[in-house]
Structure 1
Amino acid sequence: MGFEEKEGKAAAAESESETETERISRNQSESSLTTEDDDDDEVEIKIQLGPQYTLKELSEKDKDDESLRKWKEQLLGSVDVASVGDTLDAEVKILNLTIKAWGRDDIVLPIPEDKKPKSPWFTLKVGSTYSLKFAFKVSNNIVSGLKYKNTVWKTGIKVDSTKEMIGTFSPQPEPYTHEMPEDTTPSGMFARGIYSAKTQFLDDDNKCYLDLEYSFEIKKEWPSQ
């Protein structure tokens, strides 16, 4: 969530043939390119990365290929393949969002089970610098090109659109965390009021793991702690 139009940083993933060396970062890759036309409409160009495998199939594939074995070790890390099952679909659960502001206690916002936060979900101070951090857990399979998208409106007018590439992650028992760059809320009397927002977490195939609509308020001062 920011208050200036921006595009998230994208990372690239290179893919060669199945029997050749494949290079991929365990923390960051993307198999779709995103552009925007003059009407601010998003256009996605999909790049085919080849067939998808379960982690068990991937771990057993081409065992004699040394370069491929090293690539899989880098990609999978310490994943216990026996414990993740034989499913093609990754599962990503967004656990919470945290608002971090200097001199303030962190505002930790657990994701409601019904995906319907109370209104307003949180309050920010005008002209304050903050950053947004979220925690998420990955299970079953590798999630490729996980990205964060957020749109903010005030009185029905779009005032911000933020996109951030997070990366590619393998399953692990412990949650991952990702912190967004610092941002600043707008200043002045007219910046105060109620805003509505929509937050999404999607992967390279545009599978949505969280679609959250909520409102927040900007006031003259922070709420009392």
Structure 2
Amino acid sequence: QDAGDESLQRYKESLGLGGGTDISDPNDPRVCIILSLTMDSPGRDPVTIDLSTPGSENTLKDKPFTIKEGAKFTMSAKFKVQHEILSGLHYVQVVKRKGIRVSKDSEMIGSYAPNTDRQTTYEKRFQEEEAPSGMLARGHYNAVSSFVDDDKKKHLEFEWSFDIAKDW
């Protein structure tokens, strides 16, 4: 019926529907699988947190990485979708220092169709951020990151930590 509806076809293609073979793993019930989170900053190699192995996120809190004060950086998430359309995925990050919340950010990632052999993963770059600077900003921070969809389903939540320092 919608084969002749050109605008509907374009919409489906924008969601990734209508092309390629579905590569969903029938043995893995997860709809959204977060593969990695990467921090890019000029003048330094990217730092990638590998989240592809279930349970790998459990050790992140004990392995802080350093961010130079005042440095500009961009986070990006690599993920895949299986079985059904994922609607309204958000990245939510709460940062605390000494138990006190210092920031809460939420960024829309979007809606995605299941990955196919034509597009095996998705990647989303977030808005550029700037690390705080000054003597009072330096120190250890804890963060909780989660990936949540429009239905309030948490696809992944994990704790991690970082240090703001004078240099990398």
Give yes or no for TM over 0.5: yes
Q: Give the deviation of 1:118 after TM superposition.
A: 4.6
Distance of 1:187 and 1:139 partners within structure 2: 41
Matched, 1:106 2:52: no
Matched, 1:146 2:89: yes
Tell me, yes or no, if the aligned pair for 1:79 and 1:170 is still in contact at 8 Å.
no
Distance of 1:90 and 1:162 partners within structure 2: 25
The TM-score normalised by the length of structure 2 is 0.83
The answer for the alignment partner of 1:162 in structure 2 is: 105
CA gap 1:189/1:91 in 2 versus in 1, 3 angstroms = same
Tell me, yes or no, if the aligned pair for 2:61 and 2:159 is still in contact at 8 Å.
no
CA gap 1:78/1:187 in 2 versus in 1, 3 angstroms = same
- How many pairs does the alignment contain? 157
Matched, 1:185 2:136: no
**Which has the bigger relative contact order, CA under 8 A and spacing at least 6?**
2
The answer for the alignment partner of 2:154 in structure 1 is: 208
State the Cα RMSD in Å.
2.4
Q: Specify which structure has the higher proportion of strand.
A: 2
Tell me, yes or no, if the aligned pair for 2:77 and 2:125 is still in contact at 8 Å.
yes
Unpaired stretches in structure 2, ≥5 consecutive residues? none
Distance of 2:150 and 2:21 partners within structure 1: 24
Distance of 1:136 and 1:193 partners within structure 2: 31
Tell me, yes or no, if the aligned pair for 1:201 and 1:210 is still in contact at 8 Å.
yes
Structure-to-structure mapping, 1:81-92, within 5 angstroms:
84=24, 91-92=31-32
Tell me, yes or no, if the aligned pair for 1:125 and 1:219 is still in contact at 8 Å.
yes
Q: What amino acid is aligned across from residue 122 of structure 1 in structure 2?
A: F
Tell me, yes or no, if the aligned pair for 2:87 and 2:149 is still in contact at 8 Å.
yes
Q: What amino acid is aligned across from residue 133 of structure 1 in structure 2?
A: S
SS in 2 for 1:106: strand
Please list the CA deviations of residues 39-60 of structure 1 after superposition, one character each: whole Å capped at 9, or x if unmatched.
xxxxxxxxxxxxxxxxxxxxxx
